[in-house]
Amino acid sequence: MSLPPMAWNAWGDPEAATPLGDGIRALLVSALGVSGEPAPAPDRDTVPLRDSTLADTDRAALADIVGAANVSTDDLQRLYRAGGKSTPDLLRRNEPGEQSAPDAVVTPGDDDEIAAVLGYCSAHGIAVVPFGGGTSVVGGLDPERDTFAAVVSLDLRRFDRLVSLDDVSGEAVLGAGVTGPAAERLLGEHGFSLGHFPQSFQFATIGGFAATRSSGQDSAGYGRFDAMVRGLRVVTPAGVLDLGRAPASAAGPDLMQLLLGSEGTLGVITQVRVRVHRVPETTRYEAWSFPDFATGAAALRAVTQTGTGPTVIRLSDEAETGINLATTDKIGGEQITGGCLAVTTFEGTAAHADSRHAETRAVLERCGGTSLGEAPAKAWEDGRFGAPYLRDSLLAAGALCETLETATTWSNLANLKAAVTDALTTSLADTGTPALVMCHISHVYPTGASLYFTVVAGQRGDAIAQWRAAKATTTETIVRTGGTITHHHAVGADHRPWMRDEVGDLGVDVLRQVKRTLDPAGILNPGKLIP
């Protein structure tokens, strides 16, 4: 059984690790009082791991279902599936002392094997945590034991095929274990693209995109992932659900929407039918500068409500733009003097991309934007998957770095941004550190937009407790100020305490009843999503 490709105690590929540059080190010292010197990382081969509690009889029974080669209680296999990639996850991975992990890894090969594994685990009190790319940043993969005898990680890596492609309708069926790059490669061989590019793209899977309601950076053009989904196959302890029969239906409530965003708590997604499009003929790029965030946000709203059709449109606030300026001499070859940086791209045929670009350009100019040409937008695209690697280096150097996101209406956007920024800076100041809080808009809708925050502070005392306190204060502020507790990171364990605020008492009862119907023994990803 091969190991997952991501580092066990950091983001992504160890070969792509990003060391801190002189500019960032200088910022850490001057602004946060952090030395910037990297701490030594623990050796994965000597990490003390909690002993597996999976009984020999249970291991033998699972091996009978999926094959002996597809069941492992090896410490290294378990360590690599011990959790996700949030800042608390990574801080825990690098702490001395015993690490928690699932008791075994099981890699089934088809739906029947999954059904049999779920049946056995339901009968024998074994919890099951579905595992795709391991990119959760909200505690969605932590092996919570509760009263269960053991926890197994159900790795879907063998569900890695393009099952079918309907090139007339523009639909493809992909296995849940297909990664973002593999999906583009498999579809590209037939001249198609999915066009879903979240920051986790290089490692996350199709099943994970569906289970978390992922939103990619091209969402302005192609929509969120849940908008791309046309059908799901989900194996539950109670049976199999095949959902989605047509492009649209009035046959009662849409049960597919109930499974999208279910985070492995209601069933195991094994196949996803998605809308695909022809590989774009061309891509146009243009970056913009706005004097302030309010002006830029108004421009993005005008573009979205006019419907000019960019594939990507995003806006960094003054702080995020300024940090980029402080740590790089230039962005894409164009000197930016301040304000707020916006990026736009346009995909399609040459004529279609040109027409949408021209119409968007006219709106942005009318709303106070100054064109910076295409270079900064291309530079953003070239580096758009690299930010999590920088977080690893910041954490190792003694800085606290994490992200959170929300969404609200256009009319409430400025109010929510100010409230979240104040909550983060105040709560972290109470722990003895100033904080740099940056924000950008990366997903837009006719009625509102997302706000994505990155915060950098100094680690003070127990850094996990320090961040959890700041996150709790900030989430409570989001609830009070009219935002959603999560726009695309999902709920997991971290946002679960506020689900009742999000959906109400009756909404929680509905989710619990669905859980009881589909997962009567409650084995699927316990402690996540549902209060």
User: Rounded to whole angstroms, how far apart are CA atoms 386 and 496?
Assistant: 28
H or E element that contains 458: strand 448-458
Active-site residue, from 222, 285, 389, 452: 452
Integer-rounded Cα Rg, in Å, for the chain is 23
DSSP 463-474: HHHHHHHHHHHH
Interior/surface letters 74-103, b for 16+ CB within 10 angstroms, e for the rest:
ebebbbbbbbbbbbbbbbbbbeeeebebbb
For the packed helices 293-306 and 350-366, what is the interaxial angle rounded to 10 degrees? 140
Q: Round to whole Å and give the CA distance between 354 and 360.
A: 10
CB contact at 8 A, 309 and 221: yes
Residues 456/491, Cβ–Cβ less than 8 Å: no
* Planar angle of CA 188, 193, 194, nearest 5 degrees: 135
> In whole angstroms, what is the distance from residue 153 CA to residue 100 CA?
13
Give the separation between CA 496 and CA 355, rounded to whole angstroms. 44
Place of tokens 């919570």: 144
> 3 with 74: CB under 8 angstroms?
no
Amino acid identity at 386: G
What is the full DSSP assignment across 400-418? Answer: EEEEEEEEEEGGGHHHHHH
Establish whether 452 is a catalytic residue.
yes
Rounded Cα distance between 310 and 369, Å, is 16
What secondary structure does DSSP assign to 93-112, as a single string? HTSSSPBP--SEEE---SHH
Q: Which amino acid is at 401?
A: C
How far apart CA 191 and CA 279 sit, in angstroms, is 6
Cβ neighbourhood burial of 290 (10 Å; 0-12, 13-18, 19+): buried
208 contacts 135 by C-beta, under 8 angstroms:
yes
445, amino acid identity = Y
Burial of residue 475 (CB within 10 Å: 0-12, 13-18, 19+) is buried
Residues paired with 152 in a beta bridge = 104, 128
Name the token pair of 494. 């971290």
Give the number of other Cβ atoms within 10 Å of residue 44's Cβ: 15
Token pair in block for residue 281:
């003929």
Separation of alpha carbons 383 and 167, rounded Å: 32
Where in the sequence numbering do the catalytic residues fall?
A: 452
